[in-house]
């Protein structure tokens, strides 16, 4: 979590790399982090809001309704069918009996895991699975950036997609969204590569 006005340096995963990572995590029985990464990348909530989710909020639901902690805004987020499938499968594999419990319960079963643990574990996952991302930028914030970069690419790198993403991320301008997604850096780098 950055300070107000500070440019975050978190990285992002290419969407296909994220999907492959989910398969590997499932194969290795890392269900909690598979669920966290999938949910984070598909809904792009801030980590503090993600960690407050309960099974009842997402299991067999078409949409997630949440009041964001930072902005106090109510958001309605359609639950993608691929994410719904992951949620249902993890519910079964994790043998959940109480749907009122947090999705990302700590080892004591009393409250959600904390952000520091999430970030530490994500760095371990990045190393173990040899993700092509810098460890210094590996944090829970990459979930939002992963979705943002995917949406931008899916929409042919259009300004319209940046406007929509700005709305989703609650940015005040397209310039902030471009900075947030490190788009200008990439565009400048591409100039040199395309000479």
Q: Could you tell me the two tokens for 186?
A: 């990439």
Q: Residue 107 class from Cβ within 10 Å (0-12 exposed, 13-18 middle, 19+ buried)?
A: exposed
Q: Write the pLDDT tens digit of every residue in 76-120.
A: 999 999 999 999 999 999 999 999 999 999 999 999 999 999 999
CA neighbor of 53 nearest in space, from 26, 83, 82, 29? 83
pLDDT of residue 179: 87
Strand partners, 102: 54
pLDDT of residue 6: 47
Confidence of residue 66 (pLDDT cuts 50, 70, 90): very high
CA neighbor of 38 nearest in space, from 81, 92, 95? 81
Cα distances (angstroms) measured from residue 127 to each of 13, 104, 141: 14, 22, 17
CA 11 to chain centre: 11
pLDDT of residue 105: 96
Give every CB contact of residue 113 below 8 A, 6+ residues apart in sequence. Answer: 32, 51, 104, 105, 106
Confidence of residue 140 (pLDDT cuts 50, 70, 90): very high
Residue pair 37/143 in contact by the 8 Å Cβ criterion: yes
Strand partners, 63: 78
Q: Write the pLDDT tens digit of every residue in 12-58.
A: 999 999 999 999 999 999 999 999 999 999 999 999 999 999 999 99
> Average pLDDT of 166-175?
89
Residue entry with tokens 């042919």: 156
């Amino acid at each position: 979590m950055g300070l107000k006005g500070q440019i975050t340096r978190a990285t992002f995963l290419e969407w296909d790399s994220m999907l492959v990572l989910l398969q590997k995590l499932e194969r290795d029985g890392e269900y909690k982090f598979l669920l966290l990464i999938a949910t984070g990348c598909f809904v792009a909530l801030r980590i503090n809001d993600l960690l407050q989710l309960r099974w009842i909020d997402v299991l067999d639901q078409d949409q997630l309704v949440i009041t964001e902690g930072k902005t106090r805004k109510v958001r309605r987020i359609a639950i993608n069918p691929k994410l719904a499938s992951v949620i249902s499968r993890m519910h079964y594999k994790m043998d959940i009996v109480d749907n009122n419990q947090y999705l990302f319960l700590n080892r004591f079963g009393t409250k959600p895991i904390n952000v520091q643990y999430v970030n530490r574990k994500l760095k371990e996952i990045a190393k173990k699975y040899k993700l092509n991302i810098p460890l210094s930028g590996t944090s829970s914030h990459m979930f939002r950036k992963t979705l943002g970069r995917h949406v931008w690419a899916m929409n042919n790198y259009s300004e319209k997609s940046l406007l929509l993403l700005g709305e989703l991320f609650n940015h005040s301008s397209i310039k902030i969204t471009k900075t947030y997604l490190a788009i200008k850096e990439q565009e400048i780098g591409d100039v040199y590569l395309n000479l």
